[in-house]
Amino acid sequence: MLSRSNLVTRFKRPLIQGRQLSSWHDALDKIHSHNEDINAFVAVEDKQLLEQLGKDTATRQAQGTSLGPLDGAPIGIKDNFCTSRLETTCGSRVLEGFTSPYEATVVKHLNKAGAIIMGKTNMDEFGMGAANIFSHYGAVINPHDKDASSPLGKRRVAGGSSGGSAAAVAAGMCVAALGSDTGGSVRLPASYCGVVGYKPSYGRCSRYGLVSYANSLDTVGILAKDVGYASRVYDAISMYDEKDPTCMPDKFRRRVDEQDQALAGRWATDDLSGLVVGVPQEYYVDPISQTVVDIWRNGIQHLRKRGATIVPISLPHTRFALPAYFTIALGEASSNLARFDGVEYGRRSKAQADTEDNFLYADTRAEGFGSEVKRRIMLGTHILTAGTYEKNFLPAQKARRLIQQDFDNVFSLANPLHSHSQGATSGVHVILVPSATSEPPRIEDCVPESDQQEQDGIEKHNSAVETYVNDVLTIPASLAGLPAVSVPVGKGQDGFPVGLQLLGQYGYDRFILRMADILSRAEQNQ
Ligand code: GLN
């Protein structure tokens, strides 16, 4: 196992190469040569086990008993999915050294499909962040940043919170990786790292064994080198699981799948006649960069050239998405993270062990959690406090419902979750928006001012709240539980990747992947 390291050092060889990744062997080579630099993996599987798994795949292939399209594929797992061999730390000191007694359902599915789990990937602590700088194991560096001589603060981020998964895929350390997406955590890093980032509809994939950040929003996500691999992973992990009460039941799933497949089949070729694509004016947000706007236009052009009709739409409650999200997510997080008290869960502080004072909880939590998680637990606790609950939490739930209704009002497809939903006449099939407001920022632009002492040598300017604004483009789909996929579509002025996002009606997951496949060819065709 590679050691977990706080140090982010320098590249030895160029990372992004044209060569196709073929096996776990190539993936392991990439991990050995580049992980020290980009810090994508926090734990790597034992080489002997990988060798054995590789041999098993080869034997199956020789005997014609392959387990399917993922048999032998090297895959990474974000460190908030429980695995019974490797530690599961959620990027936190609180869980350092902990190994789960069981495996997350989606990890089991991948094993059954013959995937070779390469290791666990770095992440913002408990999924809280957008730049992957809040990890106990150090920041993840964007693999497209070749400027190895610049100081750490000047390096480009990989995005978060699934930054390790996105960077690992971009650097060829695996062909796909599991991430989790609560408010954008697969789509934002996918955009920054130039890979596909897919968040299925809420309830499509089991959350059993995914350590909760905010349950009503947490979704298993997929980072992949292309739409093909994202689809293969989705096919392997999207199944009913009785252990997750929010997982889509089979009967409902069959009904939704039928409609989903019919729609995907309608545009099985690249002729998009009859497809209506919505472009919401509200996503033309204040901090959006010109480079992103240009790439958004390219994406629109690409779909129009293939026969799609592009229509402007309005999602008027989008402006409430950010405050509603942070109210709901932090409220749920403060309650979820209460279990890490050093008694039943988490590493226990030794500070008071020899004294009569009983500050075990306080010491444990003060020592264990990082600055961002502490900030969010405190805000979340305030949000759930009697008195502020009515003023904050309830209005946020109302705003969430209005945001969901906005989407139902523009989609031509009925929302299968809402029996009253009919689908809008002259509505849209899909929505096209940017995934991020800019190319990946530098680390120093993401570190909140108050954390300066903790992030040695990095000077910075932003308040914690300013850094939350990055999520403005990804959060609405999370609040509505919709399928959303970020596809790399171009490079910005600084030469870093920029992604566009496709949003679909609830349950239309294969359709949205089909659209992503078409959009993924946008860049080279312009
Ligand atoms: N950046 C958002 C947050 O910090 C989303 C994170 C996520 O999706 N896990 O909450």
Domain tally for the chain? 1
Query: Interhelix angle for 509-519 vs 290-305, to 10°?
Result: 100
Task: Verify whether residue 374 is a known catalytic residue.
Answer: no
186 domain residue, yes or no? yes
What is the distance in A from the centroid of ligand 1 to the CA of 160?
7
Question: What pLDDT does residue 464 have?
Answer: 66
- DSSP-derived 3-state class of residue 12: coil
Q: Looking at 370-521, list the stretches that DSSP marks H as alpha helix, in order from N- to C-terminal side.
A: 371-383, 388, 394-410, 464-468, 475-480, 509-519
Question: What pLDDT does residue 418 have?
Answer: 85
Nearest to 476 by CA among 407, 376, 379: 407
228 domain residue, yes or no? yes
Nearest to 350 by CA among 360, 341, 358, 340: 360
Q: Looking at 267-412, list the stretches that DSSP marks H as alpha helix, in order from N- to C-terminal side.
A: 290-305, 321-336, 360-368, 371-383, 388, 394-410
502 domain residue, yes or no? no
Tokens standing for residue 387: 């008195």
Question: What pLDDT does residue 1 have?
Answer: 39
Residue type for position 492: G
Task: Verify whether residue 135 is a known catalytic residue.
Answer: no
CB 121 within 8 A of CB 135: no
Question: What pLDDT does residue 147 have?
Answer: 82
Question: What pLDDT does residue 257 have?
Answer: 97
CA-CA distance, 82 to 80, in Å (whole number)?
Answer: 6
pLDDT averaged over 10-residue windows placed end to end, the chain, 526 residues: 40 38 86 96 97 96 96 98 97 95 98 98 98 97 90 95 98 98 98 98 98 98 98 98 98 97 96 98 93 97 97 98 97 95 83 64 87 96 89 95 97 90 87 97 87 57 71 97 98 97 98 98 62
Q: Is the CB of 129 under 6 A from ligand 1?
A: yes
Q: Is the CB of 125 under 6 A from ligand 1?
A: no
193 domain residue, yes or no? yes
Task: State which of 213, 332, 446 you would mutate to test the pocket of ligand 1, scoring each by most atoms of that ligand within 8 A of its C-beta.
Answer: 213
Q: Is the CB of 213 under 6 A from ligand 1?
A: yes
Backbone angles phi, psi at 477, to 5 degrees: -65, -35
Question: What pLDDT does residue 331 have?
Answer: 96
Give the DSSP H/E element, type plus range, for residue 523: helix 522-525
Tokens standing for residue 75: 């895959």
What is the distance in A from the centroid of ligand 1 to the CA of 101?
27
Tokens standing for residue 220: 């298993």
495 domain residue, yes or no? no
Cβ count within 10 A of residue 256? 20
Task: State which of 199, 466, 471 you would mutate to test the pocket of ligand 1, scoring each by most atoms of that ligand within 8 A of its C-beta.
Answer: 471
Strand partners, 504: 430
180: Cβ contacts below 8 Å, ≥ 6 apart: 78, 80, 81, 127, 161, 162, 186, 210, 213, 218, 219, 220, 221
138 domain residue, yes or no? yes
CATH number of the domain residue 56 falls in: 3.90.1300.10
**Choice among 92, 100, 135, 161 that is catalytic:** 161
Backbone angles phi, psi at 99, to 5 degrees: -120, 135
Angle at 135 between CA 130 and CA 139, to 5 degrees: 75
What is the distance in A from the centroid of ligand 1 to the CA of 190?
14
Q: What is the domain range of residue 129?
A: 24-248
Question: What pLDDT does residue 352 have?
Answer: 63
276 domain residue, yes or no? no
CB 194 within 8 A of CB 234: no
Task: Verify whether residue 289 is a known catalytic residue.
Answer: no
391 domain residue, yes or no? no
Question: From residue 301, how far is each of 213, 255, 304 by CA, in Å?
Answer: 38, 34, 5
What is the distance in A from the centroid of ligand 1 to the CA of 506?
21
CB 238 within 8 A of CB 205: yes
What is the distance in A from the centroid of ligand 1 to the CA of 301?
31
Question: What pLDDT does residue 454 have?
Answer: 53
pLDDT in tens, 453-497: 455 556 555 666 777 888 999 999 999 999 999 999 999 999 999
